[in-house]
């Protein structure tokens, strides 16, 4: 059982701030500085990777503080793009360095970036928990910080090469940043500056039974229209399936299959022919063990219908498939088939959890192989500091950090994107320790996630 966002910010006042765009040379200089500070490759090598910045603009590898200062000097509204460029270049550089090491030529430039499936990882259901504590080796890069990979660098023999710019329908996509997010409003009230790392990053909008059927079309259309006007793609999470969360912290959902079908059709009408990413029903397949046989069949039918309805829009749909520590790949692959994954782009992993990106990609590749090449996305919103341990370690665990910001540059052979599916800074639930209710904005926790991001 993982946390699910149950409240959405009302439309209210919208006051997006438009930051002046830096020139391409300025952005490239920031990218080079970030790469050099991370010591991913020599400064001259990083220069060629991002496209022709004069050598004198590249910071030396020992200048991490200077590089951090350069990135933090970027206008708030420009940081996401600067960091996305840096991250993409860093991913390419890591892959190239691994390839070069295998050839015995340290620091030589890559001829191309190709992808291969990562190695396998165990997928053992947790003992006594419906959703496992997560482990995370994803890169932790966030707005306002130098882009420094936090993963252990892969060996030359096992490292998959990053795919620059992504693949398929999301290739090169810019994801939508909510200008009125809780983090943005907290900053406006004088909140900790570290919250800019959250406010500047694209994050998903959750739509559930708290948005009635007669309102959800307009709510969806409003977000999709604004994203289209900004030249970006929104990520929507649909979370209203009957019997949601099996009576857990985020229990709820619509009252019947027919009500759910009508609600999904209203969402689809709000999307129409505008681009969007849809993550469909977190936990709905991973948790079916709590349902009776008839209820399981009905749930699969509801999800299959929803996938078919969304297939008639411009949305790119991913059925939620839990995470690598929950349901074994063979079982989950069958559940995805039953739910109509063949009519979706694929599946989503690690939603609201903390699993290592490498582990999720290994699991994703096993699922993909079982499904004939289906694609997937990974939630990296809070997996920047690895796993927590102990009972209910999935629920507001201490010491976690933001993961790599949303990007279409990935390492998994069938991974389309890393996304922030979880609304970062919202509580997972009371967890018996006095935390806020699920979906409640929790500034102190959000600040901790941001401050620990590297």
> What would the two tokens of residue 324 be?
């690598």
Could you tell me the sign of the dihedral formed by the alpha carbons of 165, 167, 173, 176, in that order? negative
How many whole angstroms separate alpha carbon 252 and alpha carbon 241?
8
Secondary structure letter of residue 22 according to DSSP = P
Would you call 192 a catalytic residue per the annotation?
A: no
Would you call 428 a catalytic residue per the annotation?
A: yes
CA angle, 203 then 205 then 209, to 5°: 155
Distance, CA of 161 to chain centre: 19
Query: What is the number of other CB atoms lying within 10 angstroms of the CB of residue 246?
Result: 15
How many whole angstroms separate alpha carbon 341 and alpha carbon 375?
10
Catalytic residue among 178, 245, 320, 416: 245
How many whole angstroms separate alpha carbon 333 and alpha carbon 14?
42
Would you call 320 a catalytic residue per the annotation?
A: no
How many whole angstroms separate alpha carbon 240 and alpha carbon 356?
27
Give CA separation, 175 vs 4, 234, 239, in Å: 21, 6, 20
The H or E element spanning position 102 is helix 79-103
Contact 419, 175 (CB under 8 A): yes
Catalytic residue among 283, 359, 379, 416: 283
Name which of 356, 283, 388, 326 is nearest 125 in CA terms.
Answer: 326
Q: Which residues pair with 378 in a beta bridge?
A: 349, 418
Q: Are strands 415-419 and 235-239 parallel, antiparallel or unpaired?
A: unpaired
> What would the two tokens of residue 180 be?
């009125």
Which residue numbers are catalytic?
A: 245, 283, 428
């Amino acid at each position: 059982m993982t946390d699910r966002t149950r409240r959405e910010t009302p439309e209210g006042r919208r006051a997006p701030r438009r930051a002046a765009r830096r020139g391409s040379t300025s952005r490239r200089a920031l990218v080079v500085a970030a790469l050099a500070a991370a010591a991913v490759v020599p400064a001259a090598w990083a220069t060629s990777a991002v496209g022709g910045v004069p050598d004198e603009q590249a910071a030396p590898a020992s200048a991490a503080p200077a590089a951090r200062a350069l990135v933090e000097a970027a206008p708030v509204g420009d940081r996401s793009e600067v960091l996305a460029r840096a991250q993409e270049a860093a991913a390419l550089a890591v892959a190239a360095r691994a390839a070069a090491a295998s050839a015995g030529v340290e620091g030589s430039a890559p001829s191309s970036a190709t992808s291969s499936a990562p190695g396998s990882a165990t997928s053992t259901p947790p003992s006594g928990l419906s959703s496992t504590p997560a482990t995370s080796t994803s890169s932790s890069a966030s707005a306002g910080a130098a882009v420094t990979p936090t993963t252990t660098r892969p060996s030359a023999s096992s490292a998959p090469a990053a795919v620059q710019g992504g693949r398929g329908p999301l290739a090169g996509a810019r994801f939508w940043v909510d200008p009125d997010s809780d983090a943005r409003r907290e900053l406006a009230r004088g909140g900790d500056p570290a919250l800019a790392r959250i406010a500047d990053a694209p994050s998903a909008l959750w739509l559930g039974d708290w948005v009635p059927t007669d309102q959800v079309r307009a709510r969806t259309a409003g977000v999709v229209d604004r994203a289209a006007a900004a030249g970006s793609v929104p990520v929507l999470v649909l979370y209203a399936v009957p019997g949601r969360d099996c009576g857990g912290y985020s229990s709820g959902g619509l009252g019947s299959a027919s009500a759910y079908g009508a609600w999904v059709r209203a969402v689809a009408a709000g999307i129409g022919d505008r681009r969007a990413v849809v993550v469909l029903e977190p936990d709905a397949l991973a948790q079916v063990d709590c349902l009776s046989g008839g209820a399981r069949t009905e749930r699969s039918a509801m999800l299959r219908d929803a996938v078919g309805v969304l297939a008639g829009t411009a949305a790119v749909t991913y059925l939620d498939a839990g995470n690598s520590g929950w349901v074994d790949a063979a079982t989950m692959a069958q559940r995805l088939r039953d739910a109509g994954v063949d009519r979706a782009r694929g599946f989503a992993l690690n939603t609201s959890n903390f699993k290592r990106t490498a582990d999720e990609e290994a699991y994703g590749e096993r699922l993909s192989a079982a499904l004939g090449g289906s694609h997937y996305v990974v939630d990296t919103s809070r997996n920047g500091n690895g796993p927590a341990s102990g009972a209910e370690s999935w629920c507001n665990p201490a010491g976690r950090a933001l993961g790599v910001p949303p990007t279409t540059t990935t390492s998994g052979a069938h991974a389309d994107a890393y996304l922030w599916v979880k609304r970062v800074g919202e509580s997972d639930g009371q967890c018996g320790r006095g935390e806020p209710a699920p979906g409640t904005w929790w500034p102190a926790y959000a600040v901790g996630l941001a401050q620990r991001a590297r």
